[in-house]
Amino acid sequence: MAAASSSSTESPKTTTERRGIPGAQFVEDVETYLTQTGFDVNSALAFLQERLQQYKLVEMKLLAQQRDLQAKIPDIEKCLDVVATLEAKKGTGEALIADFEVSEGIYSRARIEDNDSVCLWLGANVMLEYSCEEATSLLKKNLENAKASLEVLIADLQFLRDQVTVTQVTIARVYNWDVHQRRIRQIAASSTSKDS
């Protein structure tokens, strides 16, 4: 952002886009912006409003993805917990007794003997048997991936929110400029009519 590119015609104050999200161009001066784009005030406002709506849509999508990931991560951590507990019990030779839910409000008791493998639910009606170590490393890898995806998603959301803010500020400035212009025209019109 601090790169000085004096010969470039693009203002270095725009990141043109990020993963499909168009960047909002920062407007140095409203008048220049309107003459450059050839918009009149109303079309400029309409264009910016539409951009804002598009941003809002993308924001909803990203927020939904973020919620999914944030639910997935504790799930994976719980699985890791269980595998770790089973591994810990392995050495002692005693069985693990656990109560599990059969249906809502109904629990059954299970006796889990010493064993070396666990089955992991991979989704899409698929369950695979793994040794405890393999299971732990698979779960840990999934957890890493989920956390990394979440970080990228959060960065995307921040970028998006910045673009929304820039667009909102631009809308306000275009509108104010228009009000300012009308006022000037009004004063000019009333003063000429007074003179004539």
Q: Please, is 48 exposed, middle or buried when counting C-beta atoms within 10 Å of its C-beta (0-12, 13-18, 19+)?
A: buried
Among residues 6 and 196, whose Cβ is nearest to other proteins? 6
Give the nearest distance from C-beta 187 to other proteins in angstroms.
9
Question: What are the angstrom distances between the C-alpha of 157 and each of 39, 40, 124, 169, 194?
Answer: 29, 31, 29, 18, 55
Among residues 101 and 195, whose Cβ is nearest to other proteins? 101
Encoding tokens for residue 6? 């004096």
Among residues 109 and 196, whose Cβ is nearest to other proteins? 109
Give the nearest distance from C-beta 46 to other proteins in angstroms.
19
Among residues 141 and 161, whose Cβ is nearest to other proteins? 161
The CA R_g of the chain, rounded to the nearest whole Å, is 30
Question: What are the angstrom distances between the C-alpha of 94 and each of 46, 83, 113, 114, 118?
Answer: 71, 16, 7, 7, 17
Give the nearest distance from C-beta 161 to other proteins in angstroms.
6
Give the nearest distance from C-beta 126 to other proteins in angstroms.
19
Among residues 66 and 196, whose Cβ is nearest to other proteins? 66
Contacts 24+ apart (CB under 8 A), 106-115: 112/86, 114/89, 114/90
Single-letter residue type at 3: A
Give the nearest distance from C-beta 194 to other proteins in angstroms.
19
Q: Give the residues lining the site for other proteins (CB under 8 A).
A: 13, 26, 28-29, 78-79, 81-82, 85, 96-101, 107, 110, 158, 161-162, 165-166, 168-169, 172-173, 175-177, 179-180, 183
